Amino acid sequence: MEKQRQCGLCPKRLARKSWPGSPNIFAKNLFRDSVSNLKLQQKAQEFYTKAIEIDPSQAVFYSNRAQTHIKLEAFGFAISDATKAIELDPMNVKAYYRRAVSNLACMKTKEALKDLRMVCKQAPNDKDAKLKMQECEKIVRRMDFLKAIEMGEPPSAAEGLDLNSMVVPSDYDGVQLGETMTQEFIDDMITRFQNGKKIALKYVYQIVLRAKEVFYNEPTMPEVMIAEGKRMTVCGDTHGQFFDLLEIFNRNGYPSATHAYLFNGDFVDRGSWSTEIALLLYAYKLLNPSNFFLNRGNHETDDMNRVYGFEGECKAKYNERTFKLFSESFSALPLATLIGNKFLVLHGGLFSDDNITLDDVRKLDRHRQRQPGQSGLMMEMLWTDPQTEPGRGPSKRGVGLQFGPDITRKFCERNGLEAIIRSHEVRMGGYEVEHDGRCITVFSAPNYVDTSGNKGAYINIGPDYKLHHNVFDAVPHPPIKPMAYASGLMGMA
């Protein structure tokens, strides 16, 4: 306290000047009142940071700031803060709890399990914590089992599947799907999904298997030119928000022979209509294979799908085989798209090595490694984020890294690019242009998980290769909450 007075940082004085009550109390109240708005969560985080500056010996300040990091999906920063809180107070149950959920979000399940066991040890009567520990134990056992039996390439989920012998139920009232995709089938599928109906399981299998074959035969980085009289729309994360996806099409036009679309990953998870989005995007790919493009995101991976809802949704709406077939199709997706030799579109961002070029991306054999893992070129393309500082920094997510404006400039200059276009992060305005215009983030899930209050955005590009940013608001959807099919572990925070 003496040091604080000498520095003019007396908490009472700061309380009178800057906020009502102590910084920690104000930030906590602000956070509780603001879970529906990212900007207010960021403000709460700022107050916790001020509280730490005033008194860095208080574990509760770090533990509470860790919670704001979790809500902002900065899981790497949350782990760091929770760890500091535990160092200051080894009995801080909330800090162990928050580090557990952050480790789980980073797919570090064994570390998460250690913390959950500590929570149960310190709070033996907490039934909710015990249930979550048991669920985490199941995940760890399952992952260990899958690793133990892994011997070369596993058999496809399509093995033994005879589509010709599958019968569509006689009471199915939708349009029939033949050997080729039709606009009539897509229009009917959209209507069915809007009305809470499903398509026949046979058609699900047909769409996923055919799309997988198309993706597999595409290069790791498709290269697209925009001819006169045509245009392309680039969309970011849609995260299972099916009705907001339809809003994009209603506002901007549906895919056609003259209107190409590129969806830049994270079609699934979190939102509760992920199967509907994936099937619709795959159907459009089959209808316009040379004019409709999908990049893989970090949520088109098994680990994320098991935690954030897509696996559970597939099982609830169809069956386990559906998820496995989708998983195989995700592994076949391209990792980037080059538009007009000017814009590299990839989900996450740039690399830990300055020497990486577009040729390295072209040569990357994505079929040899189904899942991105914790390191390597594929992981970086799916997970990295920009930062304002030059150089590179540790990832706020706990996976990958962050890259500064100098990294982006050098990469663009070396490869003759105007800019990179990426997604992967919520932007309150729907998009953000940073790094001196060379890094554009576009996010297409407005009011993300029904709580964030952000806009959605998409980018239109014509034959002149000028970028036209478009912003839109979320639209109403049926009363099904986000994360309805997610692992119960995600409710820990």
Residues 6 or more apart whose CB falls under 8 angstroms from that of 325 comprise 157, 158, 205, 208, 209, 212
- Confirm whether 154 is domain-assigned: no
Considering the domain architecture, whether residues 136 and 182 belong to the same structural domain is answered as no
Considering the domain architecture, whether residues 217 and 334 belong to the same structural domain is answered as yes
**Number of folded domains in the chain?**
2
Is 454 within 8 Å of 38 (Cβ atoms)? yes
Is 128 within 8 Å of 493 (Cβ atoms)? no
Q: Hey, is 1 helix, strand or coil?
A: coil
Tokens of 112: 């998460």
CATH assignment of the domain containing 40 = 1.25.40.10
Residue 14 has pLDDT above 60, yes or no: no
Residue 6 has pLDDT above 60, yes or no: no
- Confirm whether 155 is domain-assigned: no
In the block, which residue shows the tokens 């080059």?
Answer: 338
Considering the domain architecture, whether residues 254 and 384 belong to the same structural domain is answered as yes
pLDDT of residue 36: 47
Considering the domain architecture, whether residues 311 and 203 belong to the same structural domain is answered as yes
Considering the domain architecture, whether residues 253 and 142 belong to the same structural domain is answered as no
Average pLDDT over residues 300-314: 94
> Is 69 labeled as catalytic in the residue annotation?
no
Which of 97, 117, 149 finishes a domain? 149
- Distance in angstroms (rounded) separating the CA atoms of residues 65 and 82: 8
pLDDT grade for 151, boundaries at 50, 70 and 90: low
Could you report the per-residue pLDDT of 328-341, keeping only the tens digit for each? 999 999 999 999 99
Is 382 within 8 Å of 335 (Cβ atoms)? yes
Which of 149, 181, 212 finishes a domain? 149
pLDDT grade for 8, boundaries at 50, 70 and 90: very low
Is 289 within 8 Å of 214 (Cβ atoms)? yes
Considering the domain architecture, whether residues 319 and 407 belong to the same structural domain is answered as yes
- CB neighbours of residue 488 within 10 Å: 13
pLDDT of residue 100: 93
Average pLDDT over residues 25-33: 47
CATH assignment of the domain containing 278 = 3.60.21.10
Q: Hey, is 52 helix, strand or coil?
A: helix
Residue 381 lies in domain: 163-491
Considering the domain architecture, whether residues 144 and 199 belong to the same structural domain is answered as no
pLDDT of residue 23: 52
- The residue with greater pLDDT, 151 or 386, is 386
pLDDT grade for 152, boundaries at 50, 70 and 90: low
- The residue with greater pLDDT, 339 or 306, is 339
Number of H helices, E strands in the chain: 19, 14
Record the pTM: 0.86
- Confirm whether 395 is domain-assigned: yes
Residue 18 has pLDDT above 50, yes or no: no
pLDDT of residue 16: 37
Is 418 within 8 Å of 342 (Cβ atoms)? yes
- Confirm whether 157 is domain-assigned: no
pLDDT grade for 401, boundaries at 50, 70 and 90: very high
Considering the domain architecture, whether residues 212 and 124 belong to the same structural domain is answered as no
pLDDT of residue 155: 86
Residue 205 has pLDDT above 60, yes or no: yes
Tokens of 168: 């569509």
Residue 3 has pLDDT above 50, yes or no: no
pLDDT of residue 149: 62
pLDDT grade for 111, boundaries at 50, 70 and 90: very high
Residue 21 has pLDDT above 80, yes or no: no
Burial class (CB in 10 A: 0-12, 13-18, 19+), 49: middle
Residue 434 has pLDDT above 80, yes or no: yes
Is 356 within 8 Å of 377 (Cβ atoms)? yes
Residue 7 has pLDDT above 80, yes or no: no
- Distance in angstroms (rounded) separating the CA atoms of residues 82 and 286: 47
- The residue with greater pLDDT, 14 or 213, is 213
Considering the domain architecture, whether residues 252 and 392 belong to the same structural domain is answered as yes
Residue 386 pairs in a beta bridge with 403
pLDDT grade for 325, boundaries at 50, 70 and 90: very high
- Distance in angstroms (rounded) separating the CA atoms of residues 328 and 240: 19
Could you report the per-residue pLDDT of 272-289, keeping only the tens digit for each? 999 999 999 999 999 999
Considering the domain architecture, whether residues 115 and 211 belong to the same structural domain is answered as no
pLDDT grade for 493, boundaries at 50, 70 and 90: very low
- Confirm whether 371 is domain-assigned: yes
Considering the domain architecture, whether residues 133 and 281 belong to the same structural domain is answered as no
pLDDT of residue 231: 98
Mean confidence (pLDDT) of the chain? 90
Which of 149, 182, 197 finishes a domain? 149
- Confirm whether 230 is domain-assigned: yes
Q: Which member of 69, 299, 424, 435 is catalytic?
A: 299
Average pLDDT over residues 80-86: 96
Tokens of 156: 């496809």
Residue 20 has pLDDT above 90, yes or no: no
Is 295 within 8 Å of 235 (Cβ atoms)? no
pLDDT grade for 490, boundaries at 50, 70 and 90: low
Considering the domain architecture, whether residues 308 and 377 belong to the same structural domain is answered as yes
Alpha-helical runs (H) found in 288-404: 302-308, 310-317, 320-332, 358-363, 377-383
Q: What percent of the chain has pLDDT over 90?
A: 78
pLDDT of residue 12: 36
In the block, which residue shows the tokens 């995940």?
Answer: 139
pLDDT of residue 42: 84
